[in-house]
Structure 1
Amino acid sequence: MSTSSQGARHLNRLAKAKSPYLLQHAENPVDWYEWGQEAFDKAKRENKPIFLSVGYSACHWCHVLAHESFEDEVTAKIMNEHYVNIKVDREERPDVDRLYMTFLQATTGGGGWPMSVWLTPDLHPFFAGTYFPPGQFRQILLKLAEVWETDSQRCIHSGKQVIEAIKESSNITPEHDVEIKPLASEVFQRLEKRFDSVHGGFGRAPKFPSPAQTTHFLARYAALHLTNSNASEEEEKNARSARDMAVYHMSKIFNGGIHDFVGGGFSRYSVDERWHVPHFEKMLYDEAQLLTSALELYQLLPETSSEKKTLELMAKDIVTYVARDLRSIEGGFYSAEDADSLPSNDSTVKKEGAFYVWTANEIGSILGTDADLFKYHFGVEPDGNCDPSHDIQGELKGQNVLYVAHSLEETAKKFGKSADEVEQILEASLKTLRDYRDKHRPRPHLDDKILTCWNGLMISGLSRAYEVLQADREIASEALGLAEASAKFIRANLYNEQSGELRRSYREGQGPTGQADDYAFFIQGLLDLYEASTKEEYLIWAIRLQEKQDELFYDAKDGGYFASAPDEHILIRMKDAQDGAEPSAVSVTLSNLQRLAHFAEDKHADYTEKARSVLASNGQLLSRAPYALASMVSAALLEDKGYMQFIHTGTSPESALLKLIRSAFIPNRVLIHLDPRNPPRELAKINGSLRSLVEDLDKGGAKIKENVRICENFTCGLPIEDVEELKKKLPLVPDA
């Protein structure tokens, strides 16, 4: 019998942890340890293997494994008797997760969470899997304990062999002179081949939004070719196809059940091909990347496109959701909301999606006379609209996941109303349901851990929202305020002014040391925030952080960047360049280096050398599987095209010239601000072009009129003072 149904339970060591995921296991009868010396010493002292369990707080199947096995007294007794048991939050320790996930994928051909790995006391892995049903899990525990007792050398030898094999595969000879354009074409062709032209997405179910692997690349590929007057007919055709695939993909996500129409935000993925039935956890990194992609694609569409409004609504939806539900009072953004929750205030058993789903009767009683229209539009069925084959545990029986089953026009025709009337009714109905839900249903568990890396991604998205959504001044200003507040929180709580180092997480104090993605994503966020806010301090901070990232993670011997900080207990420092749910840290670093080479142009040679080493150190993988490194191909494609440096001289952060620059999606843009009243003197010290302009100002010459200089290959054109003249110089997407 699971202890979840028993009375008071004891607390294990995880009760002292900071991670919400670890705290979820603090009452397990398992004698858990955190990853650290105490556990390693015990394993060596008692000559016991280690059972390593890795997951995260919003992971549904992590909860299932916990309820079935870790809360079970019999299973816990086996674990405690034969193993030293370590629980790891993958979001706090991606270095631990990365190493053993590599082993899991290499030995089983798959991966995922929860991840279960058996290690020798020296931390060498010898067996691994993901979720195991309770009976099978006990059998594996007992069998591996028996193998260890009778032939531990077999496990030790196997573990050492595996680690040596992973080390060997990590020692890749650099490959210089990688040609990017053919690789970009290969990535595009693969995405085009895998594209689901009916339901959107790339590949079969389950379907993940995966912006880093799809829309991020497609938007850049499209922008660079659509604005190239020398593009061939085929290149222009492919560019439009890239844009249209990405837009269709995003519109299907927005209109599918993966979108929380009632409260905003998007779930992590859909278990079916239609984006209808999600796993309901909401992750900050998804919200951030979807926000950025929606805005970029919005800018790529002509004004006449009907999808433009969808992308605008998507962006505003995300800004509203994260501001309301994922933001701390101090300004940092929380990590996630859980998939599981209690169906009502008097419930005792959590169910997946309970906070989000509705019965037809509930909709009818809450919405009254508007219920039929609402049900028609959002696909509500009397017996529920979830296919049982997509509901393995039967938790969604009789329930409805809202999705757009009929367009506004179809609904209007059905009920004899105008589209505007239908839109107003739906908006009012969704607010009514939100008020009901907030009052009568407990919210899912909030992972209130604040991660530097994911806050960096969100700062980027919010900074872009400020630039793109200028027509809605209220939400644009809110977005910029949210971005600045997040940066302020990181500076106050996760940054050491003396050493220049970042910490990874904050919850009741600082968490572990920062990893490469913390630096990469946050530097990117600061660069985007500088361009949006015009405040020099963000750019200077980004430059200092890049220096620290170089010091901690750059491989001076073989080039490229390590993904993790030095740690004696991490057996291999890996250089993981493949994109996943998030872009790879090294790909974002490549983009950052390329941009910094134009922001701090006096350091161009150093930044460029490191950027080239990133491509060289990943040259073999790029050549074999460029689609696995789509973010890196995107970044390299921009460098191949060449960056455009815009130097705006003026006093207004919202001038007509700036608005014009910001209205276009120019992925190879670097925007520098020069306010004559308060010149950016720190930046001028490391930017020759800017330095000469500041020196001219200091000489007290004629009053400067607002202008924009466009510099390419470190050669600047004459100042442009007229909006129409500037428009002629911009790489604008044809309005057709």
Structure 2
Amino acid sequence: MTSPHPSVPANRLAATASPYLQQHAHNPVDWWPWCAEALDLARTQDRPILLSIGYSACHWCHVMAHESFEDPATADLMNRLFVNIKVDREERPDLDRVYQTAHQLMARRSGGWPLTVFLNPHDQRPFFAGTYFPREPRHGLPAFTQLLQGVEHAYRDRREAINAQGDELMTALAGLAPTPSGRVPAARVLDAALNELTDSFDTEQGGFGGAPKFPHATNLEFLLRRWAVGAAAGQPDDSALQMATFTLERMIRGGLNDQLGGGFCRYAVDDLWMIPHFEKMLYDNGPLLALCCDAWQITADPLFRDAARATADWIMRELQSPDGGYWSSLDADSEGHEGRFYCWDRERVRALLTPTEYAPFAAVYGLDRPANFEGQWHLHQYQTPAQVAQTQGLPLAQVESLLGAARATLLAERELRVRPGLDDKVLTAWNALAIKGMARAARVLGRADYLESAQAALDFIRRTLWRDGRLLATCKDGRAQLQAYLDDYANLLDALLELLQTRWSAADLAFAIELAEVLLTQFHDPDAGGFWFTGRDHEPLIARPKPLGDESMPSGNGVAAWALQRLGHLLGEPRYLDAAEGTLKLAAEFIRRLPYAHGTLLFALDEHLNPPETLIIRADTDLLDDWQAAAQQGYQPRRLVLAIPNSATDLPGALAGMKPGAGPRAYRCRGTHCEAPVEHLAQL
């Protein structure tokens, strides 16, 4: 989405790199980016700060921009009363996290975007917060201009009360900080999480709870891991597997998944997975790609294999930059309307397809039913190809061929439309999630091009976003900036461990160790345990959180604990294991209270209680692939396999003792115990 009023003189946001901020560069609002100069101005002039946080693919952010920020009268009021700061939540998740939490405490309800917060200019503490506000009063919300005047009057007339409220808020924020329990949670919390997911499972449509429905890839991965743990003990939990695979199947067949071009949208607004909010985010699709691969390994159902391929192909085709990094997202809107790019007129589809193609296509995707989105049809599988083959008396292979031809025709036609806006910044943490998914897909599906894609993204990060031993968080048009956050380091470490299981690279292992060391020196709290979201040398904010629960992305503390634990077992490095254990102790009460909301920490807990099996294969290059394939056969989430060629030398830590033999050999360890090397392939 570009600014609709380029004739309006550019404001300061025109000089920023963020696509979201640039969308507001021609607003008549005198916007500032978050910076010391803006904060100093507000303090000097004693003008409250209007902080507006959003992101480029956000539909309601666009609505509020059109209604209010592009309106000269509203902008004039904003400029007279406030210092106005616009923030891209994807570039500054630290600010978003702090002020979303403040909003929840003040409003006693969950937040969202756009986030609208009014700050005391002298300490940046919020005194009023909300989300979207309309141009005119409706749905119990005041008009935005009414709100602006009311907030400004409150700041002038009720200063003492505002300061007291700020003190109360800081006390409440401090009260949210976790405190260590001294003990790691017991294994029963894993069962409690499974029970909670079972109780909230939608047996009719999959997923958990009602609308809106989010993919929650972490919960589905937890269920697959529970099944695998039971299967390894000869007692597979088929109900856990059924919940995960049924949910994933409904998502794949639903409108949440782009039935023509691949890739999953952010979430569904209904309980059928039919109509999504149409933005497509990189951070969703990386984990869902890995999940589809896992489901394919377990079930051998082609539905999951094909969905994995479609998702990976979409990431490469539409989100991978020529420089290798993955871009961030596709907008929900095109031509000013949400979903316009994806929806169809029935008669246009009928005209594009042959009658032979149209008959099964309409039956599968619902064009023989009433329109499902604003008088048009958003593609959603109402029937499976097998069901349609049976009712129409056709061979299944013929139906699938006709559907494939129809999808190709419609995709080609769709490519002629005005495309949704692309947010073409590269975010380190999101790229890490995609690298992990692409590496998993490369290994499970045997696709060298997926590995090349993941490697290109990693090379971009090393080349552009790794400077002087530290990561940067974002890059746009070659301009890398902003100190990286916990999520960047933790997810990239996790992605490197996934890549190392796909192919050996001494450089990647060395990079993983460097990231682990920065996690310990910059983010780890050696006293209370856990990891702060920002580094020790980061800009001070009103709070420094240690996020524990999974949200739209996996918990940074959970990923850090899980990845450090795995790296610690590989290298025999007690500092990494101790940091992971301390994180579990810190999070213990939160995990016990809401186990299903801490899925990533549960992965770390599971492998703390039952250390993963590490299998280190040493062999000449010509034999390495066969041994690696044998070791990685099937879905084994508690097994970590590195296939290291005999030519590799100077290995770090415990790997140094795993020497080549006269022939291929595999070293099998679990925790601190290692068995005698295996020297015959059949023994694997």
TM-score, reference length from structure 2: 0.95
Query: What is the identity, as a one-letter code, of the residue corresponding to 1:434?
Result: L
Which of 129, 141, 145 in structure 2 is aligned with 1:138? 145
In the superposition, relative to structure 1, how do residues 176 and 652 fare at CA in structure 2: closer, same or farther (>3 Å)?
farther
Query: Does the CA-based 8 Å contact 2:257-2:263 persist in structure 1?
Result: yes
Q: What residue number does 1:125 align with?
A: 126
Query: Once the 2 structures are TM-superposed, how far is the Cα of residue 406 of structure 1 from its aligned partner?
Result: 1.4
In the superposition, relative to structure 1, how do residues 626 and 436 fare at CA in structure 2: closer, same or farther (>3 Å)?
same
Q: What residue number does 2:253 align with?
A: 255
Query: Once the 2 structures are TM-superposed, how far is the Cα of residue 623 of structure 1 from its aligned partner?
Result: 2.1
In the superposition, relative to structure 1, how do residues 398 and 670 fare at CA in structure 2: closer, same or farther (>3 Å)?
same
Please give the residue correspondences for 1:170-319 in structure 2 after superposition, counting only pairs within 5 Å. 170=177, 172-212=178-218, 214-229=219-234, 236=236, 239-301=237-299, 303=300, 308-319=301-312
Q: What residue number does 1:406 align with?
A: 383
Across the aligned residues of Structure 1 and Structure 2, the Cα RMSD in angstroms comes to: 1.7
In 2, the alpha carbon distance for the partners of 1:568 and 1:80 equals 26
Matched, 1:330 2:323: yes
In 2, the alpha carbon distance for the partners of 1:547 and 1:154 equals 45
Between 1:220-229 and 1:709-718, the stretch displaced more is 709-718
Query: What is the identity, as a one-letter code, of the residue corresponding to 1:635?
Result: A
Query: Once the 2 structures are TM-superposed, how far is the Cα of residue 181 of structure 1 from its aligned partner?
Result: 1.3
Query: What is the identity, as a one-letter code, of the residue corresponding to 2:287?
Result: Q
Query: What is the identity, as a one-letter code, of the residue corresponding to 2:106?
Result: T
Deviations 1:365-406 (A, max 9, x none): 1113222321111111475223xxxxxxxxxx2210101111
User: What secondary structure, in the 3-state scheme, does the structure 1 residue paired with 2:128 have?
Assistant: strand
Query: Once the 2 structures are TM-superposed, how far is the Cα of residue 145 of structure 1 from its aligned partner?
Result: 0.8
Please give the residue correspondences for 1:179-578 in structure 2 after superposition, counting only pairs within 5 Å. 179-212=185-218, 214-229=219-234, 236=236, 239-301=237-299, 303=300, 308-342=301-335, 350-369=336-355, 370-381=357-368, 384-386=371-373, 397-439=374-416, 441-470=417-446, 476-496=447-467, 499-508=468-477, 509-566=479-536, 567-578=538-549
In 1, the alpha carbon distance for the partners of 2:98 and 2:425 equals 23
Query: Does the CA-based 8 Å contact 2:179-2:586 persist in structure 1?
Result: yes
User: What secondary structure, in the 3-state scheme, does the structure 2 residue paired with 1:134 have?
Assistant: coil
Matched, 1:114 2:101: no
Deviations 1:105-126 (A, max 9, x none): 1222111111111110020011
Query: Once the 2 structures are TM-superposed, how far is the Cα of residue 176 of structure 1 from its aligned partner?
Result: 2.0
Which of 153, 166, 172 in structure 1 is aligned with 2:160? 153
Same amino acid, percent of matched pairs: 36
In 2, the alpha carbon distance for the partners of 1:110 and 1:693 equals 51
Q: What residue number does 2:52 align with?
A: 53
Query: What is the identity, as a one-letter code, of the residue corresponding to 1:692?
Result: G
Query: What is the identity, as a one-letter code, of the residue corresponding to 2:449?
Result: E
Count of equivalent residues: 671
Query: Once the 2 structures are TM-superposed, how far is the Cα of residue 486 of structure 1 from its aligned partner?
Result: 0.7
Query: Does the CA-based 8 Å contact 1:360-1:383 persist in structure 2?
Result: no
Query: Does the CA-based 8 Å contact 1:644-1:670 persist in structure 2?
Result: yes
Query: What is the identity, as a one-letter code, of the residue corresponding to 1:337?
Result: L
Deviations 1:570-598 (A, max 9, x none): 11111011101110111000111111112
Query: Does the CA-based 8 Å contact 1:378-1:402 persist in structure 2?
Result: yes
Q: What residue number does 2:39 align with?
A: 40
User: What secondary structure, in the 3-state scheme, does the structure 1 residue paired with 2:87 have?
Assistant: strand
Deviations 1:699-734 (A, max 9, x none): xxxx722232312233332333444431xxxxxxxx
Query: What is the identity, as a one-letter code, of the residue corresponding to 1:191?
Result: L
In 2, the alpha carbon distance for the partners of 1:574 and 1:289 equals 24
Query: Is there any run of 5+ residues in structure 2 with no aligned partner, and where?
Result: 137-142
In 2, the alpha carbon distance for the partners of 1:659 and 1:672 equals 11
User: What secondary structure, in the 3-state scheme, does the structure 1 residue paired with 2:452 have?
Assistant: helix
Query: What is the identity, as a one-letter code, of the residue corresponding to 2:448?
Result: S
In 1, the alpha carbon distance for the partners of 2:594 and 2:623 equals 43
Query: Does the CA-based 8 Å contact 1:599-1:672 persist in structure 2?
Result: no
Query: Does the CA-based 8 Å contact 2:51-2:117 persist in structure 1?
Result: yes
Query: Does the CA-based 8 Å contact 1:186-1:626 persist in structure 2?
Result: yes
In 2, the alpha carbon distance for the partners of 1:510 and 1:581 equals 24
Query: Once the 2 structures are TM-superposed, how far is the Cα of residue 454 of structure 1 from its aligned partner?
Result: 0.8
In 2, the alpha carbon distance for the partners of 1:666 and 1:189 equals 23
User: What secondary structure, in the 3-state scheme, does the structure 2 residue paired with 1:634 have?
Assistant: helix
In 2, the alpha carbon distance for the partners of 1:409 and 1:693 equals 51
In 2, the alpha carbon distance for the partners of 1:583 and 1:186 equals 20
Query: What is the identity, as a one-letter code, of the residue corresponding to 1:39?
Result: A
Q: What residue number does 1:686 align with?
A: 653
In 2, the alpha carbon distance for the partners of 1:82 and 1:420 equals 67
Query: What is the identity, as a one-letter code, of the residue corresponding to 2:552?
Result: A
In the superposition, relative to structure 1, how do residues 51 and 661 fare at CA in structure 2: closer, same or farther (>3 Å)?
same
Deviations 1:94-146 (A, max 9, x none): 11001011011122211111111111002001111111111222211111111
Query: Is there any run of 5+ residues in structure 1 with no aligned partner, and where?
Result: 343-349, 387-396, 471-475, 698-702, 727-736
Query: Does the CA-based 8 Å contact 1:533-1:653 persist in structure 2?
Result: no
Please give the residue correspondences for 1:636-647 in structure 2 after superposition, counting only pairs within 5 Å. 636-647=605-616
Which of 668, 674, 678 in structure 2 is aligned with 1:716? 674
In 2, the alpha carbon distance for the partners of 1:462 and 1:582 equals 17
In the superposition, relative to structure 1, how do residues 358 and 680 fare at CA in structure 2: closer, same or farther (>3 Å)?
farther
In 2, the alpha carbon distance for the partners of 1:176 and 1:514 equals 30
TM-score, reference length from structure 1: 0.89
Query: Once the 2 structures are TM-superposed, how far is the Cα of residue 691 of structure 1 from its aligned partner?
Result: 2.3
Query: Once the 2 structures are TM-superposed, how far is the Cα of residue 173 of structure 1 from its aligned partner?
Result: 2.8
